[in-house]
């Protein structure tokens, strides 16, 4: 089987992390496999051990897992025989030729059968077979499902890599190269790798194995680590052309680690982008962004001054393209996204560097030599600075860093993230109740040619439980009817499901149900979610399934309109504006596409015009089936990250204007779409834009509403419609001028109040203090301006100014300032802000001489001022 995309529709996985993932329905018994045995080399992404990359000799974030699988066929003996033969047979016999004397095996604690087989099949002596516990040698997906003991194969690299004693003693010397999982049980709920209940045996025993291609390459090529194999080392060599520090300088281990991080992450980033991900702030996009930023940071720490991402992506393409052709065919997009992220992060680094300089200055001003853990954490959390970059910058500034405080805050963040992930993680949906129907063959979809079909009820389900009959008022829960054939489109490809009705025939003619949703089960069965409104439905009944014609008409307009907008975007913006997602329903479409930067008004108008010109051209819409590779060769657009069967459906609108792989329903001619009105264009993530539009009658209604609005404005302003924009612009300008005059008056009044405040400063100990509630409506900017004026009037003796106001929309802005004499006396504006923040439910900060914040509880203002007075009195 070919490798699946690293992105699969699995609620528990950001990325495919093992070769078995694409076979999960077979292991869970949801589907009967079409074959008893399989092998694959799967692209895998694992990032939990990202901090180990470059430090150990064996960790990759992207790796290739070679595996062989048995679905109720061979079991332990067969798996061990196949693995041992491949590893130890001579190259001339199709093996890898490893010395059997250097191979070790581990087994689960009580798996005596595996120990006997290793001795019998492989001739391994007992001293080279080690028993290990559940955390190491018992495999599961981490959720309820199949599980079982496993047996891992290790290669002894020799005493120069560590102490003797087998895998238990040292996993750098004894490197794991293959894991054989004997899936024979079903697990229940649990909280960790070694804390869950074994519910009982599976109906049949399976084999799942995973061999690390990079680790095998490392051993066969005789290199020291996985980063020096022939697919990664070229990236390292490319970096060495620009870095100030050479690779392999063993007196500087940190530098070698940075080289390896770049080599590893460059491959991973290219693969992830190639499978359809763009950088973002959550989920897969966040992982990609983190990888790219680690590359950029590591390069800078090696002394690489110029942008380097372009050359790294070219190197990865050249080395890995022969194995993964999508890295070549989609290279323009991969290159553009990676380079854009480098450009954006370089700007972020500049902003973060300014924050670091401010934090360093505040640290020195407070007479300290250690940057706080909270400052280091802010640099990491807000600007993506890793602790090693902060440490290096601090050392250059003559400061140390509170690493313990930083790591404590990081641990708290990880705990929150872990709890959030655990709350969202779920077991795989149990589809075993549908298995008989899935095995019986797919539902026949008739909706391309008709809106009403005669069908037989194959199964009835209520909340996932199969029942023989369902009647009006008799079922509470989600009712699903599985039919042998249907005209209803099941939600997929961005198109939501059809609406309509299912009615009984013959003796069950009184039965009627409205169809509220249609979903696919195991990608083959159409499950009609219905509301039974009369009569009863019995399994085996003949029924009539009818789609609402008006609904379908609107749905086809929306879907065909999506294709037209996609084609128009590519015509206006270029071929890199490719689809990143879509949603269409009657009268409306939403289209996400990869593009850097917002569209100009002119570009947006062009896209709308090109789309409507194509609508007016009344292009014919042709659909046909074709082999996947031939369809791609014709230029048919495919969705990044989607998996397609060998034969695909192609939708062609206007010859070369639009050609896409699509399984949705469409109009017959483009004119049937009706007018397309683009409502707006916005960002939905880094490098991903979104266009929304109305089509057909909804578009007309929107334009009619806009026309009525314009007519109303023209009447109110007493000008013709075409003069409304100029008239509104004039009014806006007058309003801005009036607001500026009001601001001047307000600020003059505030300054007068400030002068009075300075004159009336109270004496608290040796400190002249102004702590006042200012008039409502003042902004943080107003307060900052005032505290500077007041502080200047307090003279040379210690002086402190604290001003608070009730701002707009319930906000409570506040500012604190100290003069030099007050700072010498140990008073710090940043510390005073903390007192205020606590009283008014706010947050803030700054430097020793000036700090500010904003709260939400105006009732605490008097309490805050009292706290400031008390703090100064104690000083």
The per-residue DSSP string of 118-130 comes to IIIII---GGGEE
User: Beta strand pairing status for 370-371 and 400-401?
Assistant: parallel
Distance CA 209, CA 7 (A): 21
Per-residue burial over 703-723, b = 16 or more CB atoms within 10 Å of its CB, e = otherwise: eeeeeeeeeeebeeeeeeeee
- Number of Cβ within 10 Å of residue 668's Cβ equals 12
Q: Which is nearest to 484 in space by CA: 462, 509, 455?
A: 455
Q: Are 425 and 143 in contact (CB under 8 A)?
A: yes
User: Beta strand pairing status for 688-695 and 762-764?
Assistant: unpaired
Sheet containing 767-773: give its strands across.
Answer: 762-764, 767-773, 799-804, 812-818, 850-855, 843-846
In three-state form (DSSP H/G/I as H, E/B as E, the rest C), the secondary structure along 34-70 is CCCEEEEEEEEECCCCHHHCCCCCCCCCEEEEEEEEE
Distance CA 12, CA 61 (A): 18
Q: Which residues are annotated as a binding site for Zn(2+)?
A: 559, 563, 662, 666
Query: Who's near 11: CB < 8 A, 6+ residues apart?
Result: 424, 425, 426, 428
Strand partners, 445: 486
CA distances from 345 to 162, 292, 349, 350, 379 (A): 39, 9, 6, 8, 13
SS3 362: helix
Distance CA 873, CA 875 (A): 6
Distance CA 673, CA 614 (A): 10
Q: Are 765 and 875 in contact (CB under 8 A)?
A: yes
Distance CA 502, CA 513 (A): 5
Strand partners, 209: 180
Query: Who's near 83: CB < 8 A, 6+ residues apart?
Result: 153, 178, 180, 209, 211
Helix (H) or strand (E) holding 850: strand 850-855
CA angle 520/524/530 to nearest 5° reads 35
Helix (H) or strand (E) holding 690: strand 688-695
- Number of Cβ within 10 Å of residue 824's Cβ equals 10
Q: Are 692 and 680 in contact (CB under 8 A)?
A: yes
**Tokens found for residue 269:** 């980033």
Distance CA 271, CA 275 (A): 6
Q: Which residues are annotated as a binding site?
A: 559, 563, 662, 666
Q: Which is nearest to 393 in space by CA: 350, 438, 337, 450?
A: 350
Per-residue burial over 576-613, b = 16 or more CB atoms within 10 Å of its CB, e = otherwise: ebbbbbbbbbbbbbbbbbbbbeebeeebbebbbebbbe
Q: Per this entry, what is the length of the chain? A: 875
Q: Pseudo-torsion of CA 88, 147, 76, 136, nearest 10°?
A: 40
Query: Who's near 442: CB < 8 A, 6+ residues apart?
Result: 524, 525
């Amino acid at each position: 089987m070919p490798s699946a995309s690293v992105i699969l529709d699995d609620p528990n996985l950001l990325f495919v992390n093992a070769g078995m993932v694409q076979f999960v329905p077979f292991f869970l018994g949801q589907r009967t496999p079409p074959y008893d045995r399989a092998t694959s080399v799967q692209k895998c992404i694992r990032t939990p051990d990202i901090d180990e990359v470059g430090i150990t000799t064996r960790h990759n974030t992207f790796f290739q897992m070679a595996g062989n699988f048995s679905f109720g066929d061979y079991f332990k003996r067969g798996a061990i025989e196949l693995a041992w033969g491949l590893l130890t047979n001579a190259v001339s016999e199709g093996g890898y030729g490893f010395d059997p004397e250097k191979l070790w095996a581990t087994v689960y604690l009580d798996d005596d059968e595996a120990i006997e087989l290793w001795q019998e099949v492989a001739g391994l002596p007992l001293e080279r077979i080690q028993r290990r516990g559940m955390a190491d040698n018992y495999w599961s997906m981490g959720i309820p499902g199949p599980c079982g003991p496993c047996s891992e194969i290790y290669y002894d690299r020799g005493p120069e890599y560590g102490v003797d004693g087998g895998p238990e003693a040292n996993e750098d010397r004894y490197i794991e190269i293959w894991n054989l999982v004997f899936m024979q049980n079903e697990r229940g709920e649990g909280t960790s790798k070694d804390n869950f209940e074994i519910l009982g045996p599976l109906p049949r025993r399976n084999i799942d194995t995973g061999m690390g291609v990079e680790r095998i390459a490392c051993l066969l090529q005789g290199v020291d680590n996985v980063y020096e194999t022939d697919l990664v080392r070229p990236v390292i060599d490319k970096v060495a052309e620009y870095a100030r520090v050479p690779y392999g300088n063993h007196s500087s281990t940190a530098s070698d680690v940075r080289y390896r991080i770049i080599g590893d992450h460059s491959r991973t980033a290219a693969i992830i982008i190639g499978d359809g991900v763009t950088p973002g702030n959550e989920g897969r996009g966040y992982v990609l962004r983190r990888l790219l930023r680690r590359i950029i940071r590591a390069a800078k720490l090696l002394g690489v001054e110029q942008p380097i991402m372009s050359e790294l992506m070219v190197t990865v393409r050249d080395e890995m393209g022969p194995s993964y052709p999508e890295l070549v065919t989609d290279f323009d997009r991969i290159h553009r996204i990676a380079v854009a992220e480098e450009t954006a992060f370089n700007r972020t680094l500049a902003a973060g560097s300014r924050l670091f300089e401010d934090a360093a200055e505040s640290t020195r001003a407070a007479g300290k030599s250690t940057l706080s853990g909270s400052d280091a954490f802010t640099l990491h959390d807000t600007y993506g600075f890793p602790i090693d970059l902060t440490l290096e910058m601090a050392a250059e500034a003559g400061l140390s860093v509170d690493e313990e405080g930083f790591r404590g805050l990081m641990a708290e963040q990880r705990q929150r993230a872990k709890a959030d992930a655990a709350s969202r993680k779920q077991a795989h949906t149990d589809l075993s109740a549908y298995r008989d129907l899935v095995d019986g063959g797919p539902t026949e979809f008739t909706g391309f040619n008709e809106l009403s079909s005669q069908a037989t009820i194959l199964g009835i389900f209520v909340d996932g439980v199969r029942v023989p009959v369902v009647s009006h008022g008799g079922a509470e829960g989600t009712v699903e009817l599985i039919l042998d054939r249907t005209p209803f489109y099941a939600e997929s490809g961005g198109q939501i499901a059809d609406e309509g009705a299912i009615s009984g025939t013959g003796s069950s003619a009184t039965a009627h149900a409205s169809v509220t949703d249609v979903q696919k089960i195991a990608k083959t069965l159409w499950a009609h979610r219905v509301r039974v409104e009369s009569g009863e439905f019995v399994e085996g009944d003949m029924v009539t399934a009818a789609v609402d014609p008006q609904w379908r008409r609107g749905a086809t307009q929306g879907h065909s309109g999506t294709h037209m907008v996609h084609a128009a975007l590519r015509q206006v913006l270029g071929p890199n504006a490719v689809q990143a997602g879509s949603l269409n329903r009657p009268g409306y479409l939403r289209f996400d596409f990869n593009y850097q930067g917002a569209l100009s008004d002119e570009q947006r108008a062009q896209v709308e015009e090109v789309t409507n010109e194509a609508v007016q051209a009344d292009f014919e819409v042709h659909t046909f089936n074709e082999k996947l590779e031939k369809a791609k060769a014709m230029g048919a657009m495919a969705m990044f990250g989607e998996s397609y069967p060998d034969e695909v459906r192609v939708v062609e609108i206007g010859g070369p204007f639009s050609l896409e792989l699509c399984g949705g329903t469409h109009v017959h001619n483009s004119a049937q779409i009706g007018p397309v009105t683009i409502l707006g264009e916005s960002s939905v993530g880094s490098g991903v834009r979104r266009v929304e539009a109305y089509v057909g009658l909804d578009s007309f209604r929107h334009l009619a509403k806009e026309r009525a609005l314009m007519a109303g404005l023209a009447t109110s302003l007493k000008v013709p419609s075409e003069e409304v924009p100029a008239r509104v612009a004039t009014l806006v300008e007058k309003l801005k001028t009036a607001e500026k005059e009001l601001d001047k008056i307000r600020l003059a009044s505030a300054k007068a109040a400030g002068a009075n405040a300075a004159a009336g400063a109270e004496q608290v100990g040796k400190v002249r203090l102004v702590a006042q509630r200012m008039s409502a409506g003042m902004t943080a900017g107003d307060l900052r301006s005032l505290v500077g004026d007041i502080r200047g009037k307090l003279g040379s003796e210690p002086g402190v100014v604290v001003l608070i106001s009730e701002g707009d929309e319930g906000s409570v802005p506040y500012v604190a300032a100290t003069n030099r004499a007050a700072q010498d006396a140990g008073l710090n504006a940043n510390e005073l802000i903390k007192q205020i923040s606590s009283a008014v439910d706010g947050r803030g900060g700054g430097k020793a001489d000036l700090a500010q914040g904003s709260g939400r509880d105006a009732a605490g203002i008097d309490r805050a001022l009292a706290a400031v007075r008390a703090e100064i009195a104690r000083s």
